[in-house]
Amino acid sequence: MNVHLTIEGRHGLASQIYRQLRAGILDGRLAPGERLPSTRELATQLGVSRKTTLDVFERLTAEGYLRSRTGEGTFVAATMTRRGNLPTHATALQPADPLWESMPDALPMRQEGVSPQYDFMGGVTEKRLFPFDQWRRCVSHAVRVQARAPAGYRDPAGEPELRLAVSRYLALSRAVVSNWHDVIMTQGAQQALNVLGRVVLRPGDVVAMEDPGYPPARMSFKAAGARVVPVPVDADGIVVSALPADARLIYVTPSHQFPLGMPMSLERRLALLDWAQRRGALIVEDDYDGEFRFEGRPMDSLKSLDHDGVVAYVGTFSKTIFPELRIGYLIPPASLAQALRRAKQTGDWHSCTLTQTALAKFMLDGYFAKHLRRMHKEYAARRAALRRWLDHELSPWLAPLPTSAGIHLVAEIRPNGMKPPDEAAFIARAGAASIGLYGIGGMFAGRPPRAGLLMGYGGLSIEEIDTAMQRLLDTLQGQPALPGAAHLLPNRHTRPGRAAIP
C-alpha cells in the first residue's frame, strides 16, 4: 500500500485512519483497483483493535471509496479517478470571466481591527446609540417564532409582517403608496439593484447613470452585461437632455445625489418621468438615505409621482440602522414583480427569516421610529459641527457643496498651496494624523473634473469631529501632529475605555 499511516495519541483512532486513507485515495497515492491490506493486518501494523480497522473499512465502503470482493480482499473503487498532481493554482483550470477580473473594488472598506482614529468613511452609522436592549428582545421574539414555525423555505419576497411594516413606513415617511404584497425584501439595496439588472437587462443594453455616481450600482449593472453610460448632473440632478436615447434603465439618487448631495428638483423629476414613459425605460430610484433631511420639508420620492409604472423604488436599512444588517427593499412596477421574485429566489431563495422577523417587531413596536427621531437630531448636530469647521477654520482648504440631507457631505479641495488640488496628497496628510478621509475621484466614470472628499459623519460624535478637525487644521498649517497621532491606531470601537457596544 502506497500510503504511510501514522497514529497520534490514543484518541479518535478510527477517524485518524479514515482521514488518511480517504486523502490517499483522493490524491491518487492509492490508485483505483489497488488492493488494501486486510483489516487484521492493518490493525496489527498500527497497533489498534481489529474493530477499529473494520469500522474504517466499512465507512469507506459505504461512502464509495472502497469495494470488497468476497475471498479476494478490499480494493480502492475503480470509479475513483486519479486526482494527483492537481495544479496548485485553481485559476489555471477555472479562469473567471474577464469581466470579474477587471472589476474594481466597489468602495473602501474598513480593515478589521485597525482604522484611522477618526474615520470619516461614508456609509458608517452610529452604533453606540442603537437601542441594542430592545433589539435583543426583538431577536429573542424572532427565535421563539422560528422555533414554532414548521421547517421549510419561505416566500422569496420576504416575511409578510416585515413587508407590511415597510409598506406602512414608506407610506408615512416617503409618500410611497404600496400594498404589502408589492414589497420585496432584499439583502440591502445592493441585491435590489442586482435582481433588477438581471431581470431587466440583456447583454449590451444601455444603462444611464449619474456621473459621478455610486460605484457598486455601476458594477452591478456591468455584471449584468450592460453598457453603462455616464450622464452629467447639475444643481438640479441628472441632466435629462443628456440621456442616451436608447437607455433601457436609468439609475438615479433623487433625494440626495450620490455622492454630491443635491436633491433632484421637481421640474427635473417630472422631465425624467416623462422621458422614461415616452421611451419605455425603467427608472431605478435609489432612496438610500432620504430619511435624513435637515433643511426644509423632505421631498417626496420620485415613485410618489409615478403614475405610469416606470419607477422601481429601492431603499435600505443600511443608513437608518447599520449596513451589516443587510436588509433592503424593492417596490417594482407591477409588470416586473413576478420576474423579480423569481430572480431573488434563484439568487438566495429568500433573506434570513430571523433578521426579518426581528426587524418587523422592531418596526411594528415603534422602536424604529423612535430610533430614527433620535438619530435625525443627532446627525443634524454632527453635520452642523462639521459644517462649522468647513465654513470657517478649514475654508482656505475645503469648500463644502450645498446639501441638506444624508449622513455624508462632499467638500471640494481648494487649490490652496496644491495646484492642481491633489486628492491623494491631501488624504495622505490627514492619514498621517490618523484622520481617515476618502476621495470622490473613483466615483466619476472618467477623469474626475474636480478633487473632493466624501466626508461621512455618521460614526463620529461632535467631540470626535471637533478633535479631528482641529488636528486636521494643525496638520494643514504645518504644525506637528498631536502626541499619539500614529498613522494607524486601533479601531476606535475596540479601544479600551469606550462605551461598550452590547
Q: Which residues of this chain interact with ligand PLP, rule CB under 6 A?
A: 123, 188-190, 214, 253, 258, 286, 288, 316, 318, 323, 328
Minimum Å distance from CB 363 to ligand PLP?
Answer: 16
What whole-number distance in Å separates Cα of residue 107 and Cα of residue 438?
A: 10
Which CB sits closer to ligand PLP, 106 or 399?
Answer: 106
Nearer to ligand PLP by Cβ, of 254 and 400: the residue is 254
Which residue minimizes CB distance to ligand PLP? 188
Q: Which is nearer to ligand PLP, 325 or 433 (CB)?
A: 325
Measured N-to-C along each axis, helices 367-391 and 462-476 cross at an angle, to the nearest 10 degrees, of 20
Separation CA 284–CA 230 (nearest Å): 15
Q: Least distance (Å) from ligand PLP to the CB of residue 112?
A: 18
Name the amino acid, one letter, at 86: L
CB nearer to ligand PLP: give 116 or 290. 290
Residue 187 neighbours by CB under 8 Å, 6+ apart: 326, 327, 328, 348, 351
Minimum gap (Å) between residue 211 Cβ and ligand PLP: 13
Helix axes 132-148, 367-391, angle to 10 degrees: 140
Sign of CA dihedral 65, 68, 72, 74: positive
Helix ranges, 181-254 (H): 188-200, 215-223
To ligand PLP, the closest distance from the beta carbon of 251 in angstroms equals: 9
Nearest CB to ligand PLP, comparing residues 16 and 356: 356
Q: Shortest gap between Cβ of 191 and ligand PLP (angstroms)?
A: 7
Cβ 189 to ligand PLP shortest distance, Å: 3
- Min CB(408)–ligand PLP separation in Å: 8
Residue 218's Cβ-side half-sphere holds a number of Cα atoms within 13 Å equal to 22
Q: Which three cell numbers stand for residue 192?
A: 435590489
User: Can you read off the three cell numbers belonging to residue 44?
Assistant: 496489527
Torsion on CA atoms 335, 338, 344, 346, rounded to nearest 10:
-130
32: Cβ contacts below 8 Å, ≥ 6 apart: 76, 77, 78, 79, 80, 81, 82
Query: Cell numbers at residue 166, please?
Result: 415597510
C-alpha 281/C-alpha 305 separation (Å) is: 16
Please report, for residues 54, 277, 345, 443, 465, the alpha-carbon distance to residue 459 in angstroms, rounded to integers and kept in the order given. Answer: 61, 40, 34, 22, 10
Q: CB-hemisphere CA count at 13 Å for 443?
A: 24
Q: Judged by CB, which is closer to ligand PLP: 66, or 166?
A: 166
Amino acid at 451: A
Provide the minimum distance between the beta carbon of 312 and ligand PLP in the complex, in angstroms, as a whole number: 14
Phi, psi at 231, each rounded to 5°:
-125, 130
Nearer to ligand PLP, 156 or 261 (CB): 261
Cβ nearer to ligand PLP, comparing 30 with 121: 121
Least CB distance to ligand PLP at residue 285 (A): 11
Q: How far is the CB of 257 from ligand PLP (least distance, A)?
A: 9
Distance (Å, whole) CA 399 – CA 381: 19
Judged by beta carbon, residue 123 or residue 156, the one nearer ligand PLP is 123
Query: Closer to ligand PLP at the Cβ: 37 or 448?
Result: 448
Strand partners, 453: 411, 439
**Nearest distance, CB of residue 196 and ligand PLP, angstroms:** 13
Min dist. Cβ of residue 500 to ligand PLP (A): 25
CA distances from 39 to 5, 16, 55, 75, 80 (A): 14, 15, 9, 12, 21
Residue nearer to ligand PLP on the CB measure, 251 or 389: 251
Cell of 210: 449619474
